[in-house]
């Protein structure tokens, strides 16, 4: 189990943070962004996919150590941000686990709100199907979830914060204006980092959140130093010190001492190329990647960098060699298929044979006794150990018919559901190619002799 090291006396199991609503509050300069930066560093090190809405352009320093795509207008952006690319970026981040910083520091008012809304609502919708762990950080959240005002952006953030867990989504909301943040979100937060506040209104909010007497809370909170906070998980609260970020903090307090510019990692060229095409109004992201008849698939980033990724890629995105047949489909899809195959390879051999057989013979249905004969295993074993993982994923379906439990492959439906975000960019025969490719790769996992004499 991965543990996040947040301070000398503060470690948190990753499972306790992912899918949670985490609130970081405190006055200006109290250390909120450093705390958030530490949490994001640790999540990246634990390979948890994430994105964060950066209102001050201060998180790019994460690129010192991690491969993070910065999308926005600041000096450190890899890609410009606009209404065309924002949805593509959200898809890329969620489906492929590419960590993203959405730098909205040079946008104001309605434009900023529209971009953030598009990004988050796309994540929300697609997370409903994917149900994969994913964290979203939001700086200056009082701007987006103000108390007492209702906007479509506030609705989507509140949904993520309050109901995201079942979709795997969690939020880290950060604000220097505790009293201006929607109360429902703060009171429902499963984890709080309460840095120093001084204003009476903010202190009242802390008084409601902390399990201490109000006078006691006020005394402790008003004495907190920079980087110290009250950490609260569940109903237990204690004072802690947060460590300093390992990576460059773009929001450091300037002084007369010179500050060395950080060396930042570059994201993979093909992601940038595809996003740049979307930005220029050329065909969407996944069309920009090779298809049959166009150029051949350039060397994958794995080949460019050697067998092991040079940096921890979130969710091990590029950790395996890709089949040459992958060249017929856009790379993000192929990577996703590889992830699925890795999961199926972990199944016991009999179950692998069952799944491979059903998928190769889709849409035909097979009763358990027929299936047992085809895959050469006792029928009782199929009753005791049904191909649960494949049923859960939706690659295989099971119905109770007159002839008993009947299984069949459902790759076509799986593709429609799991790859729906990619389908529009795949071209007219894209879904058919994808179904064929997936069936072939799954069948290859455990070839089954199709000897009709086996059947009773």
Which residues of the shown chain bind ligand ATP in the complex (CB under 6 A)? 26, 28-34, 176, 226-227, 242, 244, 249, 251-253
**For residues 52 and 156, which CB has a smaller minimum distance to ligand ATP in the complex?**
52
Cβ proximity of 60 and 252 under 8 Å: no
Task: Reduce the secondary structure of 231-259 to three states and give it as a string.
Answer: EEECCEEEEEECCCCCCCCCCCCCCCCCC
Cβ proximity of 424 and 330 under 8 Å: no
The site partner of 291 among Mg ion, ligand ATP, none (C-beta below 5 to 8 Å per kind) is none
Long-range contacts (CB closer than 8 Å, 24 or more residues apart) made by 416-423: 417/129, 418/129, 418/130, 418/336, 418/394, 419/333, 419/336, 420/129, 421/91, 421/95, 421/126, 422/91, 422/95, 422/286, 422/330, 422/332, 422/333
**For residues 227 and 251, which CB has a smaller minimum distance to Mg ion in the complex?**
251
Helix (H, G, I), strand (E, B) or coil at 280: coil
* Least separation in angstroms between CB 264 and ligand ATP: 18
* Least separation in angstroms between CB 2 and Mg ion: 26
* Least separation in angstroms between CB 147 and Mg ion: 20
Cβ proximity of 50 and 135 under 8 Å: yes
Cα separation of 63 and 68, whole Å? Answer: 6
**For residues 236 and 259, which CB has a smaller minimum distance to ligand ATP in the complex?**
259
* Least separation in angstroms between CB 198 and ligand ATP: 13
Detail the DSSP E strand segments found in 125-256. Answer: 134-138, 169-175, 191-194, 228-233, 236-241
Q: Which residue stretch of 229-237, 245-253, 290-298, 396-404 sits at the interface with Mg ion (rule: CB under 5 A)? A: 245-253
Site for Mg ion (CB under 5 A): which residue of 20, 30, 33, 443?
33
209, 241, 236, 243: which is closest to 225 by C-alpha?
Answer: 241
Cα separation of 43 and 439, whole Å? Answer: 34
**For residues 253 and 266, which CB has a smaller minimum distance to ligand ATP in the complex?**
253
List binders of Mg ion among 249-268 (CB under 5 A).
251
Cα 9 to chain centroid distance, Å, stands at 28
* Least separation in angstroms between CB 60 and Mg ion: 14
The site partner of 34 among Mg ion, ligand ATP, none (C-beta below 5 to 8 Å per kind) is ligand ATP
State the first-to-last Cα distance of the chain, in angstroms, to the nearest integer.
Answer: 47
Match 């590419």 to its residue by tokens.
98
Beta-carbon count within 10 A of 47 CB = 17
Q: Tell me which residue has its CB nearest to ligand ATP.
A: 227
Match 């971009």 to its residue by tokens.
115
List binders of Mg ion among 317-356 (CB under 5 A).
none
The site partner of 406 among ligand ATP, Mg ion, none (C-beta below 5 to 8 Å per kind) is none
**For residues 14 and 194, which CB has a smaller minimum distance to Mg ion in the complex?**
194
* x/- track of binding to Mg ion for residues 98-117 (CB under 5 A): --------------------
* Least separation in angstroms between CB 209 and ligand ATP: 18
**For residues 29 and 292, which CB has a smaller minimum distance to ligand ATP in the complex?**
29
* Least separation in angstroms between CB 175 and ligand ATP: 9
* Least separation in angstroms between CB 239 and ligand ATP: 13
The site partner of 133 among ligand ATP, Mg ion, none (C-beta below 5 to 8 Å per kind) is none
By the criterion CB under 5 A, which residues form the site for Mg ion?
33, 251
């Amino acid at each position: 189990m991965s543990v996040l090291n947040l301070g000398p006396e503060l470690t948190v199991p990753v499972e306790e943070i992912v899918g949670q609503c985490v609130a970081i509050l405190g006055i200006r300069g109290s250390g909120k962004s450093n705390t958030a930066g530490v949490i994001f560093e640790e999540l990246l090190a634990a390979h948890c996919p994430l994105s964060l809405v950066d209102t001050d352009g201060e998180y790019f320093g994460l690129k010192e150590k991690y491969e993070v795509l910065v999308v926005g207008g600041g000096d450190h952006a890899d890609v410009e941000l606009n209404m065309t690319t924002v949805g593509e970026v959200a898809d890329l981040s969620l489906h492929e686990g590419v960590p993203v910083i959405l730098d909205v520091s040079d946008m104001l008012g309605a434009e900023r709100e529209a971009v953030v809304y598009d990004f988050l609502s796309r994540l929300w919708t697609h997370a409903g199907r994917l149900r994969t762990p994913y964290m979203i950080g939001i700086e200056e959240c009082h701007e987006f979830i103000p108390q007492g005002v209702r906007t479509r952006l506030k609705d989507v953030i509140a949904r993520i914060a309050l109901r995201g867990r079942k979709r795997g989504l969690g939020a880290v909301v950060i604000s220097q204006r505790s009293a201006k943040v929607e109360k429902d979100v703060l009171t429902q937060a499963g984890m709080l980092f309460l840095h120093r506040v001084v204003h009476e209104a903010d202190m009242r909010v802390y008084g409601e959140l902390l399990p201490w007497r109000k006078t006691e809370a006020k005394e402790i909170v008003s004495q907190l130093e920079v980087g110290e906070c009250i950490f609260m998980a569940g109903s237990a609260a204690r004072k802690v010190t947060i460590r300093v970020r390992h990576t460059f903090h773009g929001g450091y307090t300037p002084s007369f001492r010179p500050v060395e510019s950080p060396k930042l990692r570059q994201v993979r060229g093909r992601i940038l190329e595809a996003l740049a095409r979307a930005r220029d109004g050329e065909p969407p992201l996944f069309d920009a990647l090779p298809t049959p008849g166009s150029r051949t698939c350039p060397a994958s980033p794995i080949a460019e960098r050697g067998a092991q990724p040079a940096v921890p890629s979130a969710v091990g995105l590029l950790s395996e060699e890709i089949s040459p047949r992958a060249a017929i489909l856009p790379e993000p899809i192929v990577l996703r298929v590889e992830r699925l195959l890795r999961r199926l390879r972990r199944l016991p051999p009999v179950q692998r044979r069952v799944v491979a057989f059903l998928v190769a013979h889709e849409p035909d249905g097979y009763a358990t006794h027929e299936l047992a004969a085809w895959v050469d295993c006792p029928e009782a074993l199929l009753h005791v150990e049904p191909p649960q993982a494949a049923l859960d994923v939706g690659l295989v379906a099971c119905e109770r018919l007159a002839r008993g439990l009947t299984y069949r492959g459902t790759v076509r439906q799986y593709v429609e559901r799991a790859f729906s975000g990619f389908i529009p960019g795949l071209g007219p025969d894209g879904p058919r190619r994808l179904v064929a490719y997936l069936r072939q790769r799954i069948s290859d996992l455990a070839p089954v002799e199709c000897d009709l004499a086996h059947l009773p």
